[in-house]
Amino acid sequence: VASLEQAAGDSVSFLDNRKYLAQFRETTAGACLVKPDFADQAPAGTVALLSDRPYRAYAKLAQAFYPDAVSTGSLHPTAIIAESAALAENVSVGAYAVIGEQVKIGANTRIGAHVVIGDCVEIGANGQIANQVSISHAIIGDKAKIHPGVRIGQDGFGFDMSPEGHLRVPQLGRVVIEDDVEIGANSTIDRGAGPDTVVGQGSRIDNLVQIAHNVKLGPGVVLVSQSGIAGSTE
């Protein structure tokens, strides 16, 4: 799998945006995903693989060549796992991870090194929790992909502001992350003040995003890097 410029005869590439037509005409790729309208401009030696949505087809093809790592079911000897934690079949846990009391983790989920999962957290099946993630006060669905350094479930920013001093208001809600959500590196999601903070199914969150307490994101929401969503936004 390679770009139009770098692809050789044993590589597959794609053309989705017409501004790269010149590169397409000169590519040496063995095959290229392309819309039918541009197929007649494929250079000699390049097989045109026709698709109305070449970029989406390319994503599926690249995933086939480079699938995500799967859980090996291994528990590193340095990991600390509470006796009351319930790990389903084929869960793997990396070095120095800490898994608290009454945690539930679904089948085939991978927990990276130095991850800290607080008491009573629930994580679904087929998830990937990368290194140095911390999770508390949360319920996370199936097929979660959480990148390094993510913080989920910490206190929301709730204070009674006063000249007498800013009095912290206990944050008593949770973070609920529905199925098939991806969260980029070093993003933070605060738990709710009373109602829960909710991230809808299929949402994609980039790196360095802040989601404050009581926020509710619907299904399929996309937040790009350095976005900040203020508390109680829906």
Which residues are catalytically annotated? 213
Sign of torsion over alpha carbons 218, 220, 226, 227: negative
Is residue 48 within 8 Å of 32, Cβ to Cβ? yes
CA dihedral 139, 147, 155, 216 (to 10 degrees): -60
Q: Which residues pair with 222 in a beta bridge?
A: 204
DSSP for 170-223, written as a single string: P----EEE-SS-EE-TT-EEPPPSSSPEEE-TT-EE-SS-EE-TT-EE-TT-EE
How far apart are alpha carbons 6 and 106 in whole angstroms?
41
How far apart are alpha carbons 203 and 199 in whole angstroms?
7
Enter the tokens of residue 12. 């597959």
How far apart are alpha carbons 2 and 14 in whole angstroms?
9
Enter the tokens of residue 123. 């994580």
Is residue 14 within 8 Å of 57, Cβ to Cβ? yes
